[in-house]
Amino acid sequence: MSVVLIVEDEMLEQEFLRSVMLEELFPEDKLLTCESGIQAINLAKQYQPNVIIMDIMIPELDGLSAIERIRKFLPNVFITILSAYSDFSYAQRAIRLQVFEYLLKPVKPNVIKQVFRKMLDSANDCDALTEENPDENIKDSRGSQRYFIEESIKYIKEHYREKITLKMVASRVFLSPKYFSRVFKKEMGVSFSNYIINLKIQHACRLLETTNYPAYRISIECGFSDPSYFNRVFCTQMNMTPQSYRKYTRMSAQRD
């Protein structure tokens, strides 16, 4: 099955491309459309298209920058650029991003149809080659998994003191909670919940070392709603109470 993404903010142009491509697709294929660079990245993460038609001058994030981000998690996707600009710097950057074709608007129906057919054939050949070489498929899959985990870690480190759940983070990287949980543990070596707790306790330790905040305030600062629960978790992780940890670190600093 082919998954095709059209990224075009001009509605007439988008409808033209859609009608041309529907003629070449089978009923089981999926055709997606959007109007901005950010939408393109989100749809690419969610549906993992094997063919993308991308305009350059689109809202939120230009087409070339969107391609740059998409290449990080879909390195083998076939991308053709449509542009009203013949600027050499655009074409040069497109070559570096390994685009399939760089077409100048207005594009004749027979030209876009021919290019699109070649892209579909190349994508199908690539899929067949991947099936014959499963080790390469595993390598690409692992690369995508690492990308999703890196994105989730960035989000977690920004929000771990807030009330975040596995389901929330999984939705941020367009994975099911069950799959995300399995991949997270495999890549990070700890479960999602333990990773969050470790971050909270590390922050608590820094606050105990550098401030005179009482334990209840530190528990709030670290995202614990219940101070007694914070104490239990801290004791489990550090084998001592928060007060004992503060006393121990300060005595150690005085000896040094």
Q: How far is CA 170 from the centre of its chain?
A: 10
100 token code pair: 């399939």
The per-residue pLDDT for 102 is 87
pTM, rounded to two decimals: 0.66
42 token code pair: 């989100």
Level-2 CATH architecture, domain 3-132: 3-Layer(aba) Sandwich (3.40)
Q: What is the rounded CA–CA span in Å between residue 2 and residue 120? A: 8
Distance set, CA 189 to CA 118, 141, 184 (Å) = 43, 18, 8
Are 183 and 153 a contacting pair, CB within 8 Å? Answer: no
Of 140, 190, 149, nearest to 169 by C-alpha is 149
Segments of the chain scoring below 50 in pLDDT: none
CATH number of 194-255: 1.10.10.60
| E strand spans, the chain | 3-7, 30-34, 51-55, 78-83, 101-104
Angle between helices 227-238 and 192-210 (to 10 degrees): 100
The per-residue pLDDT for 125 is 79
The per-residue pLDDT for 132 is 65
> In 10 A of CB 75, how many CB atoms?
12
pLDDT digit string, tens, across residues 173-205:
777 788 889 889 988 899 999 999 999 999 999
Tokens 């890196």 appear where? Answer: 150
The per-residue pLDDT for 138 is 56
Are 160 and 150 a contacting pair, CB within 8 Å? Answer: no
The per-residue pLDDT for 199 is 95
240 token code pair: 């001592």
Q: What is the rounded CA–CA span in Å between residue 192 and residue 173? A: 14
- The residue ranges of every structural domain in the chain are 3-132, 135-189, 194-255
Distance set, CA 17 to CA 11, 74, 121 (Å) = 10, 22, 18
Q: What is the rounded CA–CA span in Å between residue 51 and residue 100? A: 10
163 token code pair: 């009330």
The per-residue pLDDT for 193 is 94
Are 120 and 24 a contacting pair, CB within 8 Å? Answer: yes
Helix (H) / strand (E) element for 167: namely: helix 166-172
